[in-house]
Amino acid sequence: MTAGKVLGSILAVLLVLRLLYAAVGKAAPTIGKRADRLAGNPFGRALLRIAAAHTWLVGLRTVLRRHRVGRVLLWAAGMRARARVVRQMRDGLTGVRFENNAGKLPRIRKVRTTPVGERMTLVCKPGQSAELLDTRAEELRAAAKSRDVRIVRDPNRSDLVTVDVVRRDPLAATSAIRWDGLDHDALSMWDPVHIGMDENGDPVRLSMVERQIFLAGEPGSGKSSGEQVITCHAAKSPDAELLFIDPNRVQFAPWADRATAYAYADPDDALEVLNMVRAEGDRRLALLEKLPGVQRKLTREIAEGEGIPLWVLFIDELAYHTSVIGTTNGPFAKAARDIVSRFRAAGIIPVFATQRPTSDVVPTSLRDLFSMRTAYRTTTLASSDVILGEGWARQGYSATDIDLANRGVSWLLAEGALPRRVKWAWIDDETISDLSMTTVRFKPRRDPVPTPATDDTEQEG
């Protein structure tokens, strides 16, 4: 056998192994669930070994990224990939005739490897802009042979454009994210909430103080899991009170004993809970007005000194009360808008969820008030923009690209930054059941608030 044939055979074997490795990496979660069945035959055991190697390499990459020497090694390993993406981008810009009148293309200033692919910085020449480049995003994505291309203009220099070439979805191969709140006996609502992990493998924590969060996406995309993460953190916080409006009757049912107020689908009961929140918010604002000095908001020091807990208001399926049994201009919608707009400084934290918050379902005047939004999978680009804001889908931040099988993944837009792709932590039903009982001791002692009567109690009456 000649040396050429030997080399060709080796390259063919390496190519097959690379394709198998990539396929196994995508199927790693499914393989892990069927480990017992696969272990019974040689082929299955080989798949398990490859899956284990894939998991080990992903973990090794995360470890190397934490150290300077490791980052240097990863940079050296990605030189070939960076050179390839530069060539592809130049070919793509040439193919779409993006030269200016002087015949010059944007200068590629910097390229670096990211967990999702590559990121490059372009310097536009006169006659070129991020907006013009954005109109060619589809052609550039095809030229780069990638999953997606995200184009963002630098806020300080309009000639600098950041282009993210997305080649893989690291969140698809990750198993369920463990919520680190389980490691603590008690938490504080004043501290950031651990919600999950982003594309870079870094934990994501959100401060809910003086914030409102809106969760939306199609059914089965993971909204309920996201709500439960925030609920569990609030329930384990002695300095927080929980209030629920749950038209489905089962989403927050385990937390009824921990709740300060709880309403089901009855519109009068739901409005009573909102009015209760408004009355408490007015009382707190009046207290801040009477305190010495200038007090513009409820701080942790004032709350501890005056014994004022943070109130977390959860509303699931918001559209039920604003479009099914109510209207977008009805008393419920007006009360909800009043709470979101006025009581941020009073320690009231709204957490609302629905499916598709279009203007005929959720008032635009209410939806646009939320400082944090998370878009789970949607079926159309318009639906994604309705949640995150106009124009994000065109820049590559689209919830339509989220795989429905990968529940709990969403685009998170928080505090004016760029959207981040996040996989929310998973808390199983058994843990929720345990926490709903063990956290009752954190509920403030006060006269019980009447909860809506169930069908059984009505029949008994």
Cα 111 from Cα 75, distance rounded (Å):
10
Out of 34-48, 133-147, 188-202, pick the least confident: 34-48
Per-residue pLDDT for 56 more than 80? no
pLDDT reported for residue 338: 95
What confidence tens digit (pLDDT) does each residue in 266-316 have?
Answer: 999 999 999 999 999 999 999 999 998 888 899 999 999 999 999 999 999
Confidence of residue 354 (pLDDT cuts 50, 70, 90): very high
Mean pLDDT rounded to a whole number for the chain:
84
Confidence of residue 362 (pLDDT cuts 50, 70, 90): confident
Per-residue pLDDT for 225 more than 80? yes
**Residue scoring higher pLDDT (115 or 37):** 115
**What's the predicted TM-score (pTM) here?**
0.75
pLDDT reported for residue 416: 62
Residue 166 backbone class (left: φ over 0; alpha: ψ -120 to 50; beta: rest): beta
pLDDT reported for residue 54: 63
What confidence tens digit (pLDDT) does each residue in 369-387 have?
Answer: 998 999 999 988 888 998 9
Per-residue pLDDT for 446 more than 80? no
First to last CA, the chain: 92
Per-residue pLDDT for 262 more than 80? yes
CA distances from 149 to 85, 90, 163, 286, 397 (A): 12, 14, 7, 50, 9
pLDDT reported for residue 449: 39
Q: What is the mean pLDDT of residues 94-103?
A: 89
pLDDT reported for residue 49: 73
Burial class for 451, CB neighbours closer than 10 Å (0-12, 13-18, 19+): middle
In sequence order, what are the beta bridge partners of 124?
none
pLDDT reported for residue 451: 42
pLDDT reported for residue 78: 67
Cα 74 from Cα 80, distance rounded (Å):
11
Structure tokens at 380: 């159309």
Confidence of residue 448 (pLDDT cuts 50, 70, 90): very low
